[in-house]
Structure 1
Amino acid sequence: MEIVQVKNLSKVFDKEIVAVDNISFHVKEGEIFGFLGPNGAGKTTTIKVLTTLLQPTNGQVNIATFDVRKKPDSVRSSIGIVPQALTLDDDLKGMANLLLSAKLYHVPDKIAKERADELLKLVGLKDAAERDVSTYSGGMRKRLELIIGLIHNPKVLFLDEPTLGLDIQTRSVIWDYLKKLNKENGLTIFITTHYLEEADLLCDRIAIIDQGKILVEDTPSNLKQKLGGDIIEISVDDNVKAKELISEFSSVEKIDMVGQKLRIKTKKGDEVLPSILEICKANKINVKTVALSKPSLDEVFLEYTGRSLRDTRAGFSDKAAMQRVWKAR
């Protein structure tokens, strides 16, 4: 069953700024689906439309069979939302935050308390339930946000950059909770992220979105396999000259400048690499670093967008990115 159905969705601001540009995709029940892209790509705008926080300009969106335009209340009762910005009440205790959210969803008091106890235990916050949220660490606050989105037992959980700004250890903990919720409860999860390892580790399928358009959609493994071959990354003291020389190799399919490095795509990395080092030495080009690897999601992103996702900068909202003005077509 397709629990999220999006067809020809567009969102235009001020009649000319296109934040989401005629995208279509679906999410199957029980699936973890990822929206992968840089800040300002349209991820947050899309999730706001899907969760009824923004009206679509064009297109059809159904969540758990309900139309977001015609049945917004039914959509809201079927979904949980964990936004980028924390929405906790620092003046309340952890348990009180949960029970307040339960009341907003009209969950009966007895069921709400049982559910809250269960969720607090799940994410390791049982002992902190009666502490003021103002005393929580960043990781604890994010875990509390996560279970607030689950207090009413939704069919779909929407997560907008759920581990943004967290250290790698805390991110790993959040990933473990999400995988457990998905596996044990069959929870459908829609996650936006610009962390490559997050998408690769968690998601059954991903869509890469950039400048409001979906460029490709598939499983992480399929996307990497489609690229095939090997990736050589090399840092030298003369990129221009090295690129010119390496481009002459018949087995080199593509060579790009990514940051201060040359990224070379080839079918025969183990054969090409010694030749690259040899020609650099012969032409007195100093090789600083070199690495040989299989394609990653970053290579997939580079293939479809022409730039590395790792090189994009954080700190820009969709609306800020819209100042580039993607004119409506």
Structure 2
Amino acid sequence: MSSSMRVLELVHFGDADTAFATRERPRPTPGPGQLLVRVLATSVNPLDLQTRRGDYRDQLALPAVIGNDVSGVVVETGPGADEFQAGDEVWYLTPIFAGRGTYAEFHVVDQALVARKPARLSHVEAAGLALVGVTVWEALVERAGVRAGERVLVHGGAGGVGSVAIQLASALGAEVVTTARARDHEFVTGLGADTAIDFSAGDYVPRVRALGGVDVVLDTVGGDTLSRSPEILADRGRVVSIVDIPDPQNLLAAWGVNATYHFVFVSPGREKLAALGRLVDLGKLRPVIGAVLPLSEVAQAHALLEGSAGGGRRRPRGKIAIAVGEPPLPR
């Protein structure tokens, strides 16, 4: 095995077309309790876009490898890493800003964060589910505590997070309402949404009120979602946001409705991946992969997620995956 590996390094904060460079770097060696994983697939998330733009420049020294999703194969184990062996297919989410990103051919990770890849998922699919799946689990299960029979509003149901959130909320026994453009309504109802509202055709609030309001709001889009949620929440309703909002919003409207607000910044964990894997095995959860690009086209993947890709290509539904060690699927 070669002692080097190919990586896509973030060398400048700013636009995608000038931010990255392909480099050869030494292949890492696993330490105590660690695994060396051959990365077969990773993915691009909004967190990556924010990092590339420089939103978290205080957390990151350049040049750096970014990215947080991995699906791949164990190739070497460090001392005491006895839960896995070479050849095991695994998936995981890395700690945010840990300094070891996943836009690379190999990656070192603590075995405590790693789970065995669900057999029903390809490596591209598993990489597309890791971060968004754990995020949605934290939002709907750990924070909102969604219960069967409740009504949940998922903002942005056709996106990477929203498409998983619809499926998880439905699996939990909730009635699911989602906002999506009219062209995506058949898609989101196919994922399990009971009601789809075209947010581009007018104010969504009256439509949700006509349903009787909701118990939980999952904000994946930002804007004025936080300040408007009390208009549609039932008493003791919960709002969970995963959006980094630069400007504070007036939450006084929440006074009198006993609303609880949660702000989620995802943290990795094997138990969450295992729970998601069980839902995958039961056929209740599957990531939506809207596009797959090779590692060399990370910049194009960022542009596609931002909606700024050329050639008339619009932002795809679901996730954008990066095939590192296996051929990309047809686009």
TM-score surpassing 0.5? no
Larger Rg computed on CA atoms: 1
Using structure 2 for the length normalisation, give the TM-score: 0.24
Q: Which has the higher helix share?
A: 1
Greater RCO, CA 8 A, separation 6+: 1
